[in-house]
Amino acid sequence: MNELVKLRQQISEMEKQAADLQKKNRPAVIAELREQMAAYGITAEELSRPAPGTPKSRQALTKPASQPAGKKRSAPSAMKYRGPEGQEWTGRGTVPKWLKDLLAQGKSREDFLIRQVTPA
């Protein structure tokens, strides 16, 4: 028999064993939980409410994590290159197609460098 087929068969058997074990242990676990709830005065209603500090909606779960404390967001990078048709590039990341095409025509990056005027 193929090794992959054997592994899948073993996985299926182990999943069935896990389900049987869970079914067998369920009453004891429920009794233990009820005991703990009674000891701490916890009601089923309390368990159905979200814990303090947890998101209340699915939308809150999809929001990106906020910046860690002490970290500041960096300012957007200044444009470093400008193309003949007004295209701009910061000089970071992938070289844009317009600049690749111009470089292939024999131009240099310096030809498109945005010169910064410094006060005298």
Classify residue 40: in a domain, yes or no.
Answer: yes
Q: Can you give 100-119 as a three-state secondary structure string?
A: HHHHHCCCCHHHHECCCCCC
Q: What is the pLDDT along the chain (120 residues), one digit of tens a residue?
A: 699 999 999 999 999 999 999 999 999 999 999 999 999 888 888 888 887 777 665 555 555 666 666 677 778 888 899 999 989 999 999 999 999 999 999 999 999 898 876 666
Range of the domain at 46: 3-50
Query: Which residue, 111, 80, 107, is CA-closest to 93?
Result: 80
The predicted model scores a pTM of 0.38
Q: How far is CA 57 from the centre of its chain?
A: 18
Residue ranges of the alpha helices (H) in 41-114?
44-48, 58-62, 97-104
pLDDT in tens, 46-69: 888 887 777 665 555 555 666 666
| Both tokens assigned to 114 | 């945005």
In a domain, 119, yes or no: no
Contact of 99 with 109, CB cutoff 8 Å:
yes
- Give domain status of residue 8, yes or no: yes
Total domain count, the chain: 2
